[in-house]
Chains A and B, each alone.
Chain A
Amino acid sequence: MPKTVLTIDDSKAIRDMVAFTLEPQGFNVIGAANGAEGLEALRARRPDMVITDLNMPVMNGLDFIAKARSDPAGMGIPIVMLTTESAPDMKQRGKAAGATGWMDKPFDADRLVAVTRKLMG
């Protein structure tokens, strides 16, 4: 039973990159373009892990994380936020909202796989 990873990003390129990197590693990857879509996908598809951008239209990543953590579908699963070194306080705010970890952008395929394995085993 492959584990499902939800990638939430307004950039299709990032979503594709996540998918193309993790699918060969045996993960099932689903995408959403913003926090609101992400929340829907979380409830409908029950992913095992979420990778979410923070800066997104409609519903940003912080709001998504906070809402996901108060939802049964999002409790206890690893949620990784995509951060940049230009906004260090976002890490704290994301962690406070309930993020499990973060990945600084830009990241490469190795880093993505490493973080995914780190948080899912």
Chain B
Amino acid sequence: MEQAVAAFVQEARDLLGGLEDQILELEGGSTPAQIDEVFRTLHTVKGSGAMFGYTDLARFTHCFENAFELVRAGTLAVGPDLIELSLAARDLMVEFLDIGGDGPSSAALLASDRAVGLMGKIDQITGAGATTAASGGAAPTAAKTAIGGPDRRFEIFFRPDIGALRNGMRPELLTRELTSLGMARVTFDVSTVPPLSRLDPGAAHLGWHVSLTSDCGRAAIDDVFIFADEAELTIDEQDIEMAESADTADGAAVETASVSGDSPRKQGGGGAQGNGRASESIRVASSRMDAMMDSLGELVIAQARLDAVSESIGDTTLATVVEEVQRLVTGLRDATLSIRLLPIETVFSKFKRVVRDLAKELGKDVQLLAEGGETEVDKTVIDRIGDPLAHLVRNAIDHGLETSEVRVAAGKSPRGTVRMSARQEGSEVLISVEDNGRGLDREAIRARAIEKGLVDPTADLSENDLYNLIFQPGFSTAVTISSVSGRGVGMDAVRSMIDALGGGVDVVSRPGLGSRITLRLPVTMAIIEGLRVRLGESIYVIPLSTVEECVEISAADMQNGSGRMVLQIRDQMVPYLALDEIFGQPNAGEDIRRIVIVRINGNQIGLVVDDIIGQGQTVIKSLSSYHRDIPGLGGATILGDGRVALILDVATLVRLAKMRGGASLNKAA
């Protein structure tokens, strides 16, 4: 690069040497070519100067370039004043070169009376108001701005000009650039592709829909398309948070749903471009979506009934149609459920302020990192996850992170980090709050639990069990009770919120390194895959996501267990619950019963039932307040035959089993 600078200085000297003669020649009358030459010289000195570290020179040169631009355009005549000023300016430009680039001397020269006077006079001639127009320095580079800003959705439709490919545009590079900004879904609009016989392979026929979720600003999106100015381009932007608050202000409960549809086909192939944009967002009132979900739920139930009827009739033609309907219903279900999905960023983004304020209040230096904000979760989760996350974030900052002094003394960076992240794993969304603080104090937890009578002092607790104690009601190890946490009402509230959403909580902690609490939640809340089991005359549904396996057990085996409700599954001892007993239902006394092994929060238990009926889609209907608080029940659903069945709340049953089994059975975990 030094070579390039040297080349610039040499070149500029040559140019300025020539400039003197060029200006003098203007005195006797000028041709356009001569004016052009002067302009080009000034233009090069200015443009290159800014690039090679002579920005003061560039700034100074700018107003003279400006003057000759006007001369070239015929709006300014060359007069003796201009020639006089230009000559003086040329000499000053050489002085800038002699100084050797930007620095105090160069700045002083630019601020000198001589330079300011010259610029003022030339501006008087050109009528330019200010001398500040020149952009010094380099143009700002592509702005990947505002990391950690709120996620927005951009619905982008882009159709290049038909000749764009010949002119070197490569649309795939644009979509790749968009993809690098966030989560993007790219679909093509082929509606304007002509038939093969009329296809011009060099022409651009395709349109692109890009549905982008990103925390970059609109400017970064615009920047992607900076050169595509003659293309058909629409960028619809949704700030989800803003949109919602605006609606709340109106008093109308509206949620933002983003629906990107396939482009409607146009008749006749070619077609006008105007109606080519097919991807746009619609806003739908919650109530309408609820109505749609209700109808879908009924459809799924009717479908199950149809299935049952078809099976009993046993007609293959009917069975084929039923299968087809089943496929369509499943597609409709997935599409409908996807409308309920919103990026979790809408929740994450609210924590920037919380963290900032809390860190200030507690006198800690904290940075918040958020990852995976584009992960989509059911609207119900979005609505209810805020409080549990707030508890976890407060705990992380209050209890987890140390003060800067403590951190530095421990050899850590003075600034603590709270990281919120989300990702999807199968049918679950994992939302974590992680800090790089001191980690959970196992001994303090144990001591506290013993003091509270939650565990036996002799109990051999696994790490997992120990950490799970913090979710017990009334548990708190905080030595001082601060205004933000440590009141012991936080973590058990977190647990019950997550239970209510049908999820689970995992805790990982390393002394001195930090803790991570992960909430595991189902992606969709409205319809789940369920395992139907029979208990006496009743049918219950177990969420299939919790089921590991089903084993048979004879009544005799259960009797022989020496009173302990434990079952050996291969090399593991698994505590089990007899559901008939829990639910106060008379045991039908069947010889062979079945145990459904379920796992949640890393804990495995068996649920004893009379029979396994089958599995299928289960539309979750919430229980009324008459039944909501009954332990072990998570909801109800309607079976194919129209009967109502209850859905089990596995998380609560697991805890019940562990409580009954006592600490000695924790090996299974």
Asked whether B139 lies within 8 Å of A13 as measured between CB atoms, the reply is: no
Give, as a whole number of angstroms, the nearest-CB distance from A17 to chain B.
4
Instruction: Name the B residues within 8 Å of A13 (CB-CB).
Output: 4-5, 7-8, 11-12, 48, 52
Instruction: Name the B residues within 8 Å of A85 (CB-CB).
Output: 135
- In the bound complex, how far is the Cα of B165 from the Cα of A98, in angstroms? 10
Instruction: Name the B residues within 8 Å of A87 (CB-CB).
Output: 69
Contacts A20-B4, A85-B135; A108 near B173 (Cβ below 8 A): no
- In the bound complex, how far is the Cα of B227 from the Cα of A79, in angstroms? 11
Instruction: Name the B residues within 8 Å of A26 (CB-CB).
Output: none
Asked whether B4 lies within 8 Å of A86 as measured between CB atoms, the reply is: no
- Among residues 1 to 58 in chain B, which have CB atoms less than 8 Å away from a CB atom of chain A? 1, 3-5, 7-8, 11-12, 39-40, 43-44, 46-52, 58
- Among residues 67 to 116 in chain A, which have CB atoms less than 8 Å away from a CB atom of chain B? 69, 75-79, 82, 84-87, 95, 98-111, 114
Asked whether B43 lies within 8 Å of A108 as measured between CB atoms, the reply is: no
| Selected contact of A101 from candidates B3, B66, B141, B226, CB within 8 Å | B226
| Selected contact of B51 from candidates A17, A78, A95, CB within 8 Å | A17
- Among residues 3 to 22 in chain A, which have CB atoms less than 8 Å away from a CB atom of chain B? 10-14, 16-17, 19-21
Contacts A100-B169, A119-B168; A16 near B40 (Cβ below 8 A): no
List the B residue with the shortest CB-CB distance to A100.
Answer: B168
B229 at the A/B interface (Cβ < 8 Å)? yes
- In the bound complex, how far is the Cα of B361 from the Cα of A67, in angstroms? 67
Asked whether A106 lies within 8 Å of B47 as measured between CB atoms, the reply is: yes
Asked whether B51 lies within 8 Å of A79 as measured between CB atoms, the reply is: no
| Selected contact of A17 from candidates B4, B40, B65, B137, CB within 8 Å | B4
B91 at the A/B interface (Cβ < 8 Å)? no
Give, as a whole number of angstroms, the nearest-CB distance from A60 to chain B.
10
Asked whether B51 lies within 8 Å of A105 as measured between CB atoms, the reply is: yes
With most chain B CB atoms within 10 A of its CB, the pick from A17, A55, A77 is: A17
Asked whether A76 lies within 8 Å of B202 as measured between CB atoms, the reply is: yes
Asked whether A16 lies within 8 Å of B173 as measured between CB atoms, the reply is: no
| Selected contact of A107 from candidates B51, B169, B230, CB within 8 Å | B51
Contacts A17-B52, A118-B173, A121-B176; A84 near B47 (Cβ below 8 A): yes
Instruction: Name the A residues within 8 Å of B3 (CB-CB).
Output: 16, 20
- Among residues 85 to 137 in chain B, which have CB atoms less than 8 Å away from a CB atom of chain A? 135, 137
Instruction: Name the A residues within 8 Å of B12 (CB-CB).
Output: 13
Instruction: Name the A residues within 8 Å of B172 (CB-CB).
Output: 121
Asked whether B7 lies within 8 Å of A12 as measured between CB atoms, the reply is: yes
Give, as a whole number of angstroms, the nearest-CB distance from B662 to chain A.
64
Instruction: Name the A residues within 8 Å of B141 (CB-CB).
Output: 108, 110-111, 114
Asked whether B48 lies within 8 Å of A14 as measured between CB atoms, the reply is: yes
Q: Using an 8 Å CB-CB cutoff, how does the interface string of A36-61 with B read, 1 for contact, 0 for none?
A: 00000000000001000001010000
B667 at the A/B interface (Cβ < 8 Å)? no
Give, as a whole number of angstroms, the nearest-CB distance from A65 to chain B.
9
- In the bound complex, how far is the Cα of B226 from the Cα of A99, in angstroms? 13
Q: Using an 8 Å CB-CB cutoff, how does the interface string of B144-180 with A read, 1 for contact, 0 for none?
A: 0000000000000000000001111110110011000
| Selected contact of A95 from candidates B8, B40, B177, B230, CB within 8 Å | B230
Instruction: Name the A residues within 8 Å of B69 (CB-CB).
Output: 86-87
Asked whether B139 lies within 8 Å of A106 as measured between CB atoms, the reply is: yes
B138 at the A/B interface (Cβ < 8 Å)? yes
Give, as a whole number of angstroms, the nearest-CB distance from B40 to chain A.
5
Instruction: Name the B residues within 8 Å of A11 (CB-CB).
Output: 8, 11, 44, 48
- In the bound complex, how far is the Cα of B46 from the Cα of A17, in angstroms? 15
List the B residue with the shortest CB-CB distance to A83.
Answer: B47
Contacts A104-B139, A107-B139; A17 near B1 (Cβ below 8 A): yes
Asked whether B139 lies within 8 Å of A16 as measured between CB atoms, the reply is: no
Instruction: Name the B residues within 8 Å of A82 (CB-CB).
Output: 47
Give, as a whole number of angstroms, the nearest-CB distance from B351 to chain A.
32
- In the bound complex, how far is the Cα of B66 from the Cα of A106, in angstroms? 15
Give, as a whole number of angstroms, the nearest-CB distance from B229 to chain A.
7
- In the bound complex, how far is the Cα of B39 from the Cα of A84, in angstroms? 13
Q: DSSP majority for the B interface? A: helix
B291 at the A/B interface (Cβ < 8 Å)? no
Asked whether B138 lies within 8 Å of A110 as measured between CB atoms, the reply is: yes
Contacts A76-B165, A86-B66; A107 near B43 (Cβ below 8 A): no
Contacts A11-B11, A12-B11; A108 near B227 (Cβ below 8 A): no
Asked whether A76 lies within 8 Å of B1 as measured between CB atoms, the reply is: no
B142 at the A/B interface (Cβ < 8 Å)? yes
Instruction: Name the B residues within 8 Å of A121 (CB-CB).
Output: 170, 172-173, 176
Asked whether B227 lies within 8 Å of A101 as measured between CB atoms, the reply is: yes
- In the bound complex, how far is the Cα of B49 from the Cα of A21, in angstroms? 17
Contacts A104-B139, A106-B139, A119-B170; A84 near B4 (Cβ below 8 A): no
| Selected contact of A16 from candidates B4, B47, B166, CB within 8 Å | B4
Asked whether B4 lies within 8 Å of A107 as measured between CB atoms, the reply is: no
Asked whether A100 lies within 8 Å of B167 as measured between CB atoms, the reply is: yes
| Selected contact of A108 from candidates B51, B168, B169, CB within 8 Å | B51
List the B residue with the shortest CB-CB distance to A65.
Answer: B167
Contacts A16-B3, A110-B138, A111-B139; A84 near B168 (Cβ below 8 A): no
- In the bound complex, how far is the Cα of B176 from the Cα of A103, in angstroms? 21
- In the bound complex, how far is the Cα of B13 from the Cα of A12, in angstroms? 13
- In the bound complex, how far is the Cα of B167 from the Cα of A78, in angstroms? 7
Contacts A102-B227, A108-B139, A121-B176; A76 near B168 (Cβ below 8 A): yes
- In the bound complex, how far is the Cα of B49 from the Cα of A13, in angstroms? 10
Instruction: Name the A residues within 8 Å of B58 (CB-CB).
Output: 106
Asked whether A107 lies within 8 Å of B227 as measured between CB atoms, the reply is: no
With most chain B CB atoms within 10 A of its CB, the pick from A69, A86, A103 is: A86
Give, as a whole number of angstroms, the nearest-CB distance from B519 to chain A.
40
Instruction: Name the B residues within 8 Å of A17 (CB-CB).
Output: 1, 4, 8, 51-52
- In the bound complex, how far is the Cα of B488 from the Cα of A11, in angstroms? 72
- In the bound complex, how far is the Cα of B139 from the Cα of A82, in angstroms? 12
Give, as a whole number of angstroms, the nearest-CB distance from B335 to chain A.
34
With most chain A CB atoms within 10 A of its CB, the pick from B3, B5, B7, B176 is: B7
Contacts A110-B141, A114-B141; A86 near B8 (Cβ below 8 A): no
List the A residue with the shortest CB-CB distance to B66.
Answer: A86
- Extra A-B contacts (18), CB below 8 Å, given A11-B44, A101-B227, A105-B47: A10-B40, A13-B52, A76-B165, A76-B168, A76-B202, A77-B168, A86-B65, A95-B167, A95-B229, A98-B168, A100-B168, A100-B169, A106-B138, A109-B1, A118-B173, A118-B177, A119-B168, A121-B176
Give me 12 A-to-B residue pairs in the complex whose CB atoms sit less than 8 angstroms apart, sorted by A's number: A10-B44, A13-B4, A13-B52, A16-B8, A20-B4, A21-B1, A49-B168, A95-B167, A98-B166, A105-B47, A111-B142, A121-B173
List of 10 A-B pairs having minimum Cβ-Cβ separation, nearest first: A106-B50, A108-B138, A13-B8, A100-B168, A101-B227, A105-B47, A78-B168, A16-B4, A17-B4, A106-B51
- Report A's interface with B, CB cutoff 8 A: 10-14, 16-17, 19-21, 49, 55, 57, 69, 75-79, 82, 84-87, 95, 98-111, 114, 118-121
- Report B's interface with A, CB cutoff 8 A: 1, 3-5, 7-8, 11-12, 39-40, 43-44, 46-52, 58, 65-66, 69, 135, 137-139, 141-142, 165-170, 172-173, 176-177, 202, 226-227, 229-230
